[in-house]
Amino acid sequence: MSELHWDTEITKIEPNKIQLRGYPIDYLMGKYSYPAVVYLAIKGELPDEKVAKLMETMLVSSVDHGATPPSTLAARTVASTGAPLNAAIAAGILAINKFHGGAIENCMIYLKEVKKYAEEKGIKIEDAVKEIVKEKKEKKQKIFGFGHRVHTNDPRTKKLLEEAEKAEVAGDYIKILKETEKAMEQTLGKHLPINVDGAIAGILCELDFPHQLANAFFIMARIPGLVAHIYEEQTKMKPMRKIHPTDHGYTGPTDRHLK
């Protein structure tokens, strides 16, 4: 064995044999959903059916949010130059940062901060929330995961929190989210509802994912949306056009419902 030898716990490859975290890939194929296998790849164990459904709900929630997000505009702009698909996707992903997508990570850090503070002080979660919200207001520090530039009652948030309850994972972190929403209204004097980033942050904390991976879940979810926008740009728009960030319409079907 050379001095450059190294090991991985993720995937084992042999002739005619592929194992992901010990499971044959052909055993997983057709038996487990993509979100369940994402969970397996990252955490090393398969989730139960309820958690797998929650993972799926979470990824679907962020698949796209129209043509105005920075990642979509970046992807379309690069596609408009004649760049190949992978370059345009990369441009979109590179636009996912602190204020776009990155709110999930910052919210996770906040949720863990509150839980740790409550445990160290031996106080109730609602009291810990009130103290930290007050402190952050005094220091003029933003609490991520609340409020939205478009939605005042985001349907994604409601669905995510409902599915967290169904999956029986809603615990202290989800409680911190809800208590923070109330505390911010009392402290700041305005209603800032839990947004989709906050709901995802709460779920990821409940599932014990590290906050450093928060952006990965947003990226995995958003790539299909980026691909759709890129392909539309490449096939239906003029090259090198001026892409207005807000002045656009919608010509697709509306209000479709599953039977």
**Which is higher by pLDDT, 257 or 203?**
203
User: What is the model's pLDDT at position 99?
Assistant: 86
216 and 131 assigned to the same domain: yes
* Inside any domain, residue 3: no
User: What is the model's pLDDT at position 71?
Assistant: 97
pLDDT of 220 higher than 90: yes
213 and 187 assigned to the same domain: yes
Q: Percent of the chain having pLDDT more than 70?
A: 100
35 and 133 assigned to the same domain: no
pLDDT of 258 higher than 90: no
pLDDT of 149 higher than 80: no
Range of the domain at 125: 48-242
Mean pLDDT of 140-157: 89
Q: Mind giving me the DSSP string for 77-115?
A: HHHHTT--HHHHHHHHHHT-BTTBBTHHHHHHHHHHHHH
40 and 54 assigned to the same domain: no
* Total domains present in the chain: 2
Residue 172's pLDDT band (cuts 50, 70, 90): very high
Residue 195's pLDDT band (cuts 50, 70, 90): very high
* Inside any domain, residue 255: no
Distance, in Å, from the CA atom of 195 to the CA atom of 67, rounded to the nearest integer, reads 19
Distance, in Å, from the CA atom of 193 to the CA atom of 45, rounded to the nearest integer, reads 34
Q: What is the CATH number of the domain that holds 70?
A: 1.10.230.10
pLDDT in tens, 73-131: 999 999 999 999 999 999 999 999 988 888 999 999 999 999 999 999 999 999 999 99
